[in-house]
Each structure stands twice: as structure tokens, then as C-alpha cells.
Structure 1
Amino acid sequence: MLAVASFSLLAATLLSGAAHAQKDAPAGGIYTCTDARGRTLTADRPIADCSDREQRELSPSGLTRRKIEPTYSAREMAEREDRAREAAVQAAKATDERRRERALLVRYPSAASHDRERNQALSQVDAVIQAAQKRIAELSEDRKKIDEELEFYKADTSKAPGATRRKLEDNTQSMAVQNRFITEQEEEKKRVNARFDEERARLKPLWGPAPSAAAAAPR
């Protein structure tokens, strides 16, 4: 009788444990994806036909447990990494461009301020050119005096005094230097205008539309 009771107790314990184990065991997942032909596939394990695309694991209630990334070959992975790097480079360029635009807008809040600085930059170059032109005028006057000294030796300037010949050589070289300097400054003016033109093109949309004359007029 005791043996029968013990057996019954053991059986009840085992059945209870089995019931708890079944209750506590995690429910199986449901995998779903849309294949290359646009079909929605569902299975109780990862779907081989969707190995090249994202899959979702769902709970029995239909909630997404996790997303499963595609399985890529070494070549595909390398291509993805290349695209990611290129995207990062382009994003960095875009960020830098926005930073530069903000800096320009702070420096030139209006078209008038931009025009004012352009004129100042060009005026500085013009001042340098005028100084060179003044020096050329002085050298031209010196050349007249040198030519007067060489008048007697016009037929053969090699017979002129050494000091006079040296003055002629120095004058010629100085004149060439000043003319070359003026040419360089004219190129600098082109560079200044090109820079301000490029800035103007970038700033114009940032400034927005200019107020109309009617809107600007006092009421």
C-alpha cells in the first residue's frame, strides 16, 4: 500500500514538472520575408530564398522579435563597405559645405557687405598697380637723361662710359620688373573677381530674395 502511494506521488511530481517545463519553454519563431519575385514567404526557420535580403522573426502574436540582415558574399560585403565609405565621404563634404556656407553668411550677411569687401580688395590691388606705374614714370624720366648722355655715343654705345652703360642696363631691367609686376597684379584682380563671383553664387540663395522697392519704401 505504501509502495502504491509512493508511486502515485512520484508520477504526480513528474507530470507537474513536465507541465511547468512545457509552459516555460520559449515559443518557436516565425520567419517572414518578401522574395525577389515579390512573394511573401513564411517559415519556422530562416528562409533560404531570402538569404540575400532582410528577414523578420515574429513572435506567435505577430510582433517583430528581430530583423535578420542578409547574408552577403565576400564580394558583396566589400561592395557594401565601399558604398558606405563613399557615403561617409559625401556626407562629410556636405557637412563641410554647410559649415563654409554658414561662415560666409556670417561674414557677408548681405549683398552690400559682399560688394563692399570686393571693392576694398580690388582697391588694394589697384593701389599696388598705381605705385608700380608711378615707378615706371620715374624710370622713364631717368631713361631720358640716360639717352641724353648716350647721344654722343649713338653710333656705338659700347664706347660710352661704363657708369652710363650700367645705368642704362639697370634702368631697362627695372622697367621690365615693374611691367611684369603690373601684369601679375592684373592677374590678381582677375583672381579676386573670380573668388567673389564664386562666393556671390553661393551666397545669393542664402540671402534669399531681395525686398522689392514697394516693400522697402516707408509707409
Structure 2
Amino acid sequence: MRICHVRGLNAALLLGVLGSLPVNASSQEVKQGSAIYTCTNAAGRTLTRDRPIAECLDREQRVLNSDGSLRTVLQPSLTSDERAAQEEADRRKAQERANKQEAIRRDRNLLARFPNEAAHNKARDAALNATRSGIQTSEQRLADLQKERKPLLDEAEFYKGKNLPGKLKGQIESVDVSIEAQRALIVNQQAEVGRVTALFDAELARLKRLWGGADPGSLGPLPQSALAGQAAPPPKP
């Protein structure tokens, strides 16, 4: 009878141990899944908690696994001013990346449009020819106006010391206004020739470096001539 009692007691103990295993395993899993937060506060003291540490919101907090290995790092919480500054810095970096990609794209377009200097010279001539032709037209118009003005001035000689007739006076003033307008137009057209020439010179200098092996997008800001040159179709051969 005593032997049976002992065996029954051992069986009960064994069942109790087995029944406790799932509970212990589950507890161990929770423990392994928990995080440990640690930081050094403003006074130089190391703090450890099982949740983010309020005293260290303004500084870095290390998040550890239960075995002491590093899980992640919490960056300091930012003030509104710091957050605004960070957002501005991020915006600038994003803009710089976008500008870099745009410069690469435009440089590649330049190389595709102008594989050599001869092709670029054709584009330069095409851009300048229209303006030069306009200057010639304006100069011819100016010469015609000056011819129109001469007989009017000759007629005005008969009225020296007197008031000019209204019609003659109006004709002379009209021609003079047209002459001044034509002269101003020629000045603007000549300035345009200089501007286009300078832009194509800057573009050619960039292209020579690209033809020489420079990486697209590595040459800094793109000259405005590149923008203008890519907007217009290349000249026909």
C-alpha cells in the first residue's frame, strides 16, 4: 500500500512539472521579446528602464534586447525649432539630389544633340542667323527712313524763321520717332547677338569637357545656353 502511495505521488509531481512547462516557456518568450531602454542623463548618470526614458527625450537612447544586444537607437526628440531646421535641411538635400539628377539628364541630352563640335557650330549659326538677318532688315529700314526725312528737311528750309505748316511738322516728327525706334531695335538686336554668342561659348566649353570624358552632372550648374539649346530643334544637316 505504501508503494502505491509513493508511485501516485511521483506521478502527480511529474504531471505538475509537465503542466508548468508551457507557462514557463511562454514567460520566457515574453521576457525575450521585451526591450531594455538605457541612456546617460544630463547629470552623467546611466538610466535603465523597460520603456522610453522621459529624462532622456533630449538625447540618444539605446534599445537593447534581453540578452544585452543592441536592437535599435532612439534619436533625441526635437523641439519645434529643431524639427523645422531638420525639415529645412532635409528639403535642401532633396533639392540638391533633384538638381543633380536634372543636371545629369541635361548633360546627357547635350551629348545626344551635339556629338561633336561641328554639330554645335551648326546650332550656333542657326541661332545667330535669324538675329543677324533682323539687324540687316532694321538697318535697311533705318536707311529708308533717313531718305524719307531728307526731302522733308529740305522743304522745311523754306520756312526758316517761321512756324512750319502743321502737316510738314507732323511728317518730320513721325519720321524722327520711327528713326529712334529703329535705332533702339538695332541696339537690342546687336545685344542679342552678343548674348547668344556668350551662351553658346559657355555651352561649348561644357561640351568639350563632356566629350573629354567628364561624367554628366559633375560640372556644376548648367549654363543657360544649354537650356535654350535643348529647347530648340537641332539644325538640319
Q: 1:206 to 1:150 in 2, by over 3 A?
A: same
Residue 72 of structure 2 aligns to a residue whose secondary structure is: strand
Q: Distance in 2 between matches of 1:6 and 1:82?
A: 76
Deviation at 1:142, TM superposition (A): 1.3
Q: Deviations over 1:140-176 (max 9, x none)?
A: 11112212222211333x234x332222112111111
Residue 71 of structure 1 aligns to a residue whose secondary structure is: coil
Q: What one-letter code is carried by the residue in structure 1 that aligns with 2:169?
A: R
**Paired position in structure 2 for 1:186:** 190
Task: Mark the runs of 5 or more structure 2 residues left unpaired by the alignment.
Answer: 41-45, 214-237
Q: Distance in 1 between matches of 2:131 and 2:77?
A: 61
- In the superposition, the TM-score normalised over structure 2's length comes to 0.66
**Paired position in structure 1 for 2:16:** 14
Q: 1:8 to 1:71 in 2, by over 3 A?
A: farther
What do you get for the CA RMSD once the two structures are aligned? Answer: 3.8
**Paired position in structure 1 for 2:170:** 166
The residue correspondences of 1:148-167 to structure 2 (distance < 5 A) are 148-156=154-162, 158-160=163-165, 162-167=166-171
Q: Which has the higher contact order (CA 8 A, sep 6+)?
A: 2
Q: What one-letter code is carried by the residue in structure 2 that aligns with 1:15?
A: V
Q: What one-letter code is carried by the residue in structure 2 that aligns with 1:69?
A: L
Q: Which segment is superposed worse, 68-77 or 93-102?
A: 68-77
**Paired position in structure 1 for 2:98:** 92
CA contact (8 A) 1:32 1:58 kept: no
Q: Distance in 1 between matches of 2:83 and 2:157?
A: 86
The residue correspondences of 1:26-175 to structure 2 (distance < 5 A) are 26=29, 28=32, 52-53=59-60, 55=62, 57=64, 66-74=71-79, 76-156=82-162, 158-160=163-165, 162-175=166-179
Residue 72 of structure 1 aligns to a residue whose secondary structure is: coil
CA contact (8 A) 1:30 1:57 kept: yes
The counterpart of 2:206, out of the listed 189, 202, 205, is 202
- Number of residues paired by the alignment? 202
Q: Distance in 2 between matches of 1:79 and 1:168?
A: 66
Task: Mark the runs of 5 or more structure 1 residues left unpaired by the alignment.
Answer: 36-40, 210-219
Deviation at 1:114, TM superposition (A): 1.8
Q: Distance in 2 between matches of 1:77 and 1:7?
A: 67
Q: Distance in 1 between matches of 2:5 and 2:87?
A: 71
CA contact (8 A) 1:132 1:181 kept: yes
Q: 1:168 to 1:112 in 2, by over 3 A?
A: same
